[in-house]
Amino acid sequence: KAGVTQTPRYLIKTRGQQVTLSCSPISGHRSVSWYQQTPGQGLQFLFEYFSETQRNKGNFPGRFSGRQFSNSRSEMNVSTLELGDSALYLCASSLSPGTGTGELFFGEGSRLTVL
Amino acid sequence: GESVGLHLPTLSVQEGDNSIINCAYSNSASDYFIWYKQESGKGPQFIIDIRSNMDKRQGQRVTVLLNKTVKHLSLQIAATQPGDSAVYFCAERVKAAGNKLTFGGGTRVLVKP
């Protein structure tokens, strides 16, 4: 069974640009969450999607957005990139939004560097 | 965990010894707690979880202890192996918050051969 797949794994952008990151959850998983990991702030929740609907949102500016498709794949977008957006962006999938054990399976992340 | 940033607290352990990693959580409304292991270049990997109606749970070589009175969580690793070298994170979740986890700052475990 394939794990959570994130693309691209590495990317470099410049300030002001925008970026789209993609996440394919484990087959059968319908909930996808996104987290940002930086040395300064650690792991922080961005948002969660279930059945194409955003269920929860973290404390990030509106430049950060996401969506989920009918096949449960998810994308997140960051517009008008700032240096501080450099981070490892992690996607996690689960069967459902935390009603059971809530076990999240993480992908290996997309490492974004903003120059 | 209390610490964030580049200066992760580090636990240096001799191979074969037991490791204890501590975590203070913040929200008394949290009902579910998880420990994750993150190796360099990889995403966090689930180790063990515990619900707030329990105070101890055991897995293979790992035990999680929960003290709700002082909002403290610990992970015990028995007979630590070189493959246990990683950063360990605790995470908490408030009921009805879906999969929104609040992570601690992490503890780096270094296993000395």
Phi, psi of A9 (to 5 degrees): -80, -35
pLDDT tens digits, B41-79? 899 999 999 999 999 999 999 999 999 999 999 999 999
- Locate the chain B residue with the closest alpha carbon to A9: B41
B107 band by pLDDT with thresholds 50, 70 and 90: very high
Whether residue B4 has pLDDT greater than 50: no
Of the pLDDT bands very low, low, confident and very high (cuts 50, 70, 90), residue A100 is: low
Instruction: Enumerate chain A positions whose Cβ falls within 8 A of a Cβ in B.
Output: 4, 31, 33, 35, 39-45, 48, 50, 55-56, 58, 90, 92, 94, 97-98, 101-109
Chain A residues near residue B32 by CB distance under 8 angstroms: 98, 102
Query: Which residues of chain B lie closer than 8 angstroms to A40, CB-CB?
Result: 4-6
Q: Using DSSP, state whether B14 is helix, strand or coil.
A: strand
Chain A residues with CB under 8 Å of B106 CB are 42
Q: Which among A45, A89, A99 is the top mutation candidate for probing chain B, defined by the most B β-carbons within 10 Å of its own β-carbon?
A: A45
From the number of C-beta atoms within 10 Å of its C-beta (0-12, 13-18, 19+), residue A102 rates as buried
CB B94 within 8 A of CB B31: yes
Rounded CA separation A77/A85 (Å): 12
AA identity, residue B86: A
What is the per-residue pLDDT for B98?
72
What spatial distance separates the first Cα and last Cα of chain A, rounded to whole Å? Answer: 37
Give the model confidence (pLDDT) of B73-104 as tens digits: 999 999 999 999 999 999 998 877 777 899 99
Query: In whole angstroms, what is the distance from residue A63 CA to residue A66 CA?
Result: 10
Q: Minimal Cα distance from B103: which residue of A? A: A43
CA distance linking residue A39 with residue B75, whole number of Å: 22
Listing DSSP states for B69-101 in one string gives: TTTEEEEEESS--GGG-EEEEEEEEETTSTT--
Surface-to-core class of residue A47, CB atoms within 10 Å of its CB (0-12 exposed, 13-18 middle, 19+ buried): buried
Q: Which has the closest alpha carbon to B17: B73, B63, B81?
A: B81
DSSP 8-state assignment for residue A85? G
Give the model confidence (pLDDT) of A50-80 as tens digits: 999 999 899 999 999 999 999 999 999 999 9
Mean pLDDT over the full length of chain A: 93
Across the interface, do B44 and A90 touch by the CB < 8 Å criterion?
Answer: yes
Structure tokens at A110: 């997309």
Question: Searching chain A, which residue's CA lies closest to the CA of residue B89?
Answer: A43
Provide the pLDDT for residue A101: 55
How many CB pairs lie under 8 A apart between chains A and B? 77
